[in-house]
Structure 1
Amino acid sequence: MTVQEALRWASSFLEERKLEPPVAEWLIRHYLQVNRTKLFTMLQDPIEPKWIDQLEHDLHEHAKGVPVQHLIGYEEFFGRRFAVNKHVLIPRPETEELVVAVGQLAAKLFRDEQVTVVDVGTGSGAISITLALEHPTFEVNAIDISEEALFVAQKNAKNLEADVHFLKGDLLQPLINQQKKVKLIVSNPPYIPLTDAEQLAVHVRDHEPHLALFGGQDGLDLYRRFMTELPQVIEQTGIIAFEVGINQARIVEAMLAKAFPYATTEIRNDISGKERMVFAYGDMSKDEG
Structure 2
Amino acid sequence: MKTVFEALKWASSFLEKHGREASAAEWLIKHELSVTRTELLLRMQDEMPDYESFEAKIQQHASGIPVQHIVEKEEFYGRTYRVNHHVLVPRPETEELVEGILSRAKELFPDPTKATIADIGTGSGAIAISLALELQNREVTAVDISEDALAIAKENARQLEAPISFLHGDLLQPLAGRKLDIVVSNPPYISEEEYATLDPLVRDHEPIQALVGGEDGYELYRRLAEGLPKLISSPGLIGFEVGEKQARTVATMLESSFGKDIEVEVVKDISGKERMVFGVVK
TM-score (norm 2): 0.97
| Equivalent AA in structure 1 for residue 275 of structure 2 | R
What residue is the counterpart of 1:286 in the other structure?
none
1:136-285 matches, cutoff 5 A: 136-137=136-137, 139-176=139-176, 179-261=177-259, 262-283=261-282
What residue is the counterpart of 2:66 in the other structure?
67
Work out the CA distance in 2 between the residues paired with 1:265 and 1:15. 44
| Equivalent AA in structure 2 for residue 36 of structure 1 | R
Is 2:127 the partner of 1:115? Answer: no
Structure 1 gap segments, 5+ residues each: 284-289
Q: Deviation at 1:138?
A: 5.4
What residue is the counterpart of 1:46 in the other structure?
47
| Equivalent AA in structure 1 for residue 121 of structure 2 | G
Deviations 1:158-190 (A, max 9, x none): 0011110011010011110xx111100000000
What residue is the counterpart of 2:33 in the other structure?
32
What residue is the counterpart of 1:22 in the other structure?
23
What residue is the counterpart of 1:287 in the other structure?
none
CA RMSD of aligned residues (A): 1.0
Q: How many residues align structurally?
A: 279
Work out the CA distance in 2 between the residues paired with 1:281 and 1:253. 12
Deviations 1:79-115 (A, max 9, x none): 1110001100000000000000000000111132521
SS in structure 1 at match of 2:29: helix
Q: Percent identity?
A: 53
SS in structure 2 at match of 1:190: coil
What residue is the counterpart of 1:134 in the other structure?
134
Moved over 4 A (4+): none
Work out the CA distance in 2 between the residues paired with 1:161 and 1:81. 12
SS in structure 1 at match of 2:167: strand
Work out the CA distance in 1 between the residues paired with 2:211 and 2:165. 24
Stretch of structure 1 that moved more, 194-203 or 119-128: 194-203
Is 2:94 the partner of 1:95? Answer: yes
